[in-house]
Structure 1
Amino acid sequence: MGTYDMTDHAGQRLTHGRPEVNGVNIHYAMGGSGDPVILLHGVPKTMFFWRKVIPLLTPHHTVVAVDCRGYGDSERPQTGYDTQTMAQDVVALADHLGFERFRIVGEDWGAAIGYAVAAFHRDRVEQLVFQEMLLPGLGYGSDDVAGRTRTLKKEDTRTMWHLDFFNVPHYPEMLMPGREREFWSFFMKREMYDPSAATDEDVDEQVRWLESPGGTHTILEVYRSNDLDGEQNAPQFEHKLTIPVLAVGGEAFFGDEVRHQMEPVAQDVRSVVIERCGHNPSLERPDELARTYLEFFGKPAGA
């Protein structure tokens, strides 16, 4: 199974498109009916990351899974990998699809983009799910975060070793190409409570786009834009989000830290920590995750 085989709850193949919005071709997949929910993946993933969750949401919502700028089958421009620009991509896609208002679900870097959508386009977003991420300008490098984090092993990505590595000029570009499968499969599984939940299908889908032209560049540019993201976000922190925000953490990774990230920047924050789960709840605990979303959206579990 690959991206183009993803289906809704009835087994119907999702509808795909790749329109030019905000000056870049963005690939999306859509299914279901009802109020729209836009799903934004993290790094180094694609919309395929959501394949287990999508059919659990489509009975209640029109679900739009997005390949963010530079990822999957979206266009890979040289620039524009700051979260404010990538948020503009999302809003332009919503315009193209005819959605005036919508819900955003983001995980990892998709959560950072989701926050930017909600913060810079406050009249468009009804609810925000901020999942398993530290917010640029608030989380990365924060002494408060470090003080809430237990001693970690050196290869643990919560130490942010990769942020330093990816920001070194030239060396990642020299060392990573040709080793995408080994590097990123270890990277992803090291962050999970249940690494078996990342199947060969998931790894194959990641490697497919990572090995294509511009894959490594895209990832590095996202991380290298972190300081710019923080500078852009800082003025927004002074005006807390007023929409409901759900902070979702995996017990074995960021956990309740996600709540700490959202409370300073949003007025109405609800928090859920998924037990027996690491950084990838969509793969590790999709049923519980979907129930959590639907309850937050106002749809009772099982309805």
Structure 2
Amino acid sequence: MSSLQIFDHQGAPVRHGKAKVNDVRLHYMTAGTGAPLLLLHGVPKTSTYWYRIFPLLTSHFTLIAPDIRGFGDSEKPIGGYDMATIATDLAELMTSLGHDTFFVAGEDWGAAFAYAVAATNRQRVKKLSYGEMLLPGFGIEKWSFLNKENVESVHWSWHVAFFFLREIPEMLIRGKEEIFWTSWMKNETYDPSAISNVAAADWIRSASGPGGLRGIFEVYRAHFVNQELVLGWSKDKLTIPVLALSSAYFMGDEPLRQMENVAADIRFVELEHCGHSMALEQPQRVAEELINFFASSHSDY
């Protein structure tokens, strides 16, 4: 269990739980009152990614922040890392917690999973916040190319092809998790100090444990399955309201273009002086945008 303790707006510790769903045991945190909001972390992070934003949102929403399969204190099975399977995990988790309908927000791969949940549960997901991610089939491939434009940018995604390789990343990173993951995550920020030692230590703990690297790399190795899934889902665009949330330093207006491929009703917000880890670099601003977006209509609750 993480040593990073997280609190709600009243200073009370969040509640932890585990649920067996879709043949995998997921760890999750929950706190707050109001409409349910599912928060999904990216790679190589865990649910503790949201520790700065939890107390800013719990007076408005019932927050549910799980560790995705393969991450944190959730089980790390051999397979099931494609977007459809993970979306099923998360939808079943919300069912098990009694939430028939809900909001969903994610950053990085958490945003891709959030889109997958919305695309496969169209009667249940009422709004989607999609932050700092390129979808398979709509751009993640282009950003990983070795060319001058990418190398000179702030967003060259060289790791996409590297993580796709079988066994090679494990061989090179195992035993060096702290220096590799800390350096990689800080390099994608506008303010490297936003990746605190206590938060990084939890993600490194997860990556260093038994099976800890599996989920990180298998998410990337499911690329061609995910590509087919996304291209199929995109033929029927989402009609729910979508917030495309982005950082000026890293992805710019790309999340808007991503959502234009898959959704019809989009609001776009770009955060200045911010890099890829938005909820850590600009927690107050991210919280404000999520509150403004999700709390604007609670007629279903």
Give the TM bin, normalised by the shorter chain: over 0.9
Structure 2 distance, partners of 1:255, 1:235, is 26
In structure 2, relative to structure 1, the CA distance for the partners of 1:86 and 1:34 (3 Å cut) is same
Structure 1 distance, partners of 2:197, 2:287, is 23
Residue number in structure 1 paired with 2:158: 161
In structure 2, relative to structure 1, the CA distance for the partners of 1:157 and 1:212 (3 Å cut) is farther
Residue 275 of structure 2 is aligned to residue 278 of structure 1: yes
Residue 233 of structure 2 is aligned to residue 236 of structure 1: yes
Contact conserved, 2:144 with 2:160, CA < 8 A, in 1? no
Structure 1 counterpart of 2:237, one-letter code: K
Structure 2 distance, partners of 1:113, 1:292, is 20
Residue number in structure 2 paired with 1:65: 65
Provide Cα deviations, 1:245-295, integer angstroms capped at 9, x if missing partner. 000111100021110100121000100000000000111000000000011
1:261 to 258, 269, 275: 258
What is the aligned-residue identity percentage?
44
Residue number in structure 2 paired with 1:226: 223
SS in 2 for 1:123: coil
1:1-303 maps to which residues of 2 (within 5 A)? Answer: 2=2, 5-142=5-142, 151-153=149-151, 158-299=155-296
Structure 2 distance, partners of 1:107, 1:292, is 14
Q: What displacement does 1:150 show? A: 8.8
In structure 2, relative to structure 1, the CA distance for the partners of 1:249 and 1:276 (3 Å cut) is same
Could you say what the CA RMSD is over the residues aligned between the two structures, in angstroms? 2.0
Structure 1 distance, partners of 2:88, 2:235, is 21
Q: What displacement does 1:299 show? A: 4.8
Structure 2 distance, partners of 1:3, 1:282, is 19
Structure 1 counterpart of 2:134, one-letter code: L
- Which runs of at least 4 in structure 1 moved beyond 6 Å after TM superposition? none
Structure 2 distance, partners of 1:157, 1:28, is 33
Structure 1 counterpart of 2:248, one-letter code: E
Structure 2 counterpart of 1:9, one-letter code: H
Q: How many residues align?
A: 296
Structure 1: which 5+ runs fail to align?
A: none
SS in 2 for 1:28: strand
Structure 1 distance, partners of 2:66, 2:82, is 17
In structure 2, relative to structure 1, the CA distance for the partners of 1:238 and 1:299 (3 Å cut) is closer
Contact conserved, 1:3 with 1:48, CA < 8 A, in 2? no
Contact conserved, 1:31 with 1:58, CA < 8 A, in 2? yes
Structure 2: which 5+ runs fail to align?
A: none
Contact conserved, 1:248 with 1:258, CA < 8 A, in 2? yes
SS in 1 for 2:225: helix
Which one is further off, 201-210 or 31-40?
Answer: 201-210
